[in-house]
Amino acid sequence: VRYLAGVIGPRHATSPAYVEAAAWSAGRLRELGYAVERQRFRVPAGNSWGVDVSAGTSQNIVATTTDFSPGEPHLIVGAHLDTVPVAPGAEDNASGVSVVLELARLAAHDGAGTRLPVVFVLFGAEEPRGPGDDDHHYGSRVYVDSMSAAQRRGLVAMVALDRVGVGTVVPLCTGGVSPLGVQRQLLSAAAAHTVATSRCTDNQSSDHWSFEKAGFSVARLGSTPYAGYHNAGDVWSVVNPAQLRRTGRTMGEWLTH
């Protein structure tokens, strides 16, 4: 969180800072032994939270174990790496990225074998460039559109981690289309670690929505309101390490049981 928000800072999807953040994240995942793909895609110009942004190229960072077969049953755990232009993006969304990286580390090195293979994805261009549903979530929509028939058959569930470091309660949400099985599993996982949760079924504002619209079972963790949302106050000090641990424990339980 400190590195992404404090050293790199604002990193909208087509900026040099985003390229730096993507390279740093990809390097961390390679160090853990993952095969890392950079999925590049074009993003149109637009207006992101009051700032005009130019068209350009962004990228998803996709990490798999070297023996992963796309057609086998698997899970996706993702978080968006970009920010709006005005925000350092500690809570939104270095918090989610940090938990994804820690889950990847645990899966790779600490003997925490997952119940199914996991694809870890850091999405580009989640943040809006306009008011409509087609004006954001570019990276996750590209990922879904690029999935082969075998990948679609194999994907069991997708979970997005977005704004998971403030508050004391972990929100567990869907967009209102997905069956609630994944949400219920996460509720049980949280309860196993006495993590307080809330539920919603009307959240369509993160990358889970791209998968949900395509018919996959999904959930989103996160979305607690905070004063630094999409502004210069979104610095690393707003993120509560204890809340990151609550999110991480919930996800770790879900991935392993």
Are the CB atoms for 123 and 136 separated by under 8 Å?
Answer: no
Residue 191: per-residue pLDDT: 99
Domain membership of residue 128 as a residue range: 2-256
| Res 110: pLDDT | 62
Sign of CA pseudo-dihedral 28, 209, 201, 237: positive
Burial of 229 (0-12, 13-18, 19+ CB in 10 A): middle
List all residues 6 or more positions away from 44 whose beta carbon is below 8 Å from its beta carbon: 55, 129
Closest CA to 122 of 191, 16, 199, 24: 24
Structure tokens given for 137:
């979530």
How do the residues of the chain divide into helix, strand and coil, expressed in percent and rounded to 5?
40, 20, 40
Q: Which residue, chain included where needed, has tokens 């920010």?
A: 83
Q: How far is CA 122 from CA 3, 44, 77, 139, 231, in A?
A: 16, 20, 9, 9, 22
Question: Is residue 210 helix, strand or coil?
Answer: helix
- The residue written with tokens 């580390």 in the block is 105
CA–CA separation, 165 vs 247, rounded Å? 8
Structure tokens at 125: 């261009």
SS3 call for 12: coil
253 three-class SS: helix
Residue 42 is which amino acid? R
Is residue 3 within 8 Å of 24, Cβ to Cβ?
yes
pLDDT score at 27 = 99
CA angle 64, 57, 62 (to 5 degrees): 5
Q: What CATH number is attached to the domain comprising 152?
A: 3.40.630.10
Nearest-angstrom CA–CA distance, 181 and 169? 20
**For each successive 10 residues of the chain (257 residues), what is the average pLDDT?**
98 99 99 98 98 98 94 98 99 99 92 87 99 96 98 98 99 97 98 98 98 98 98 98 99 97
- How many domains, the chain? 1
Q: What's the pLDDT score for residue 112?
A: 60
CA–CA gap between residue 123 and residue 175 (Å, rounded): 18
Query: Phi, psi at residue 158, to the nearest 5°?
Result: -125, 135
Minimal CA–CA distance to 107: which of 144, 154, 63, 147? Answer: 63
Distance CA 35, CA 46 (A): 33
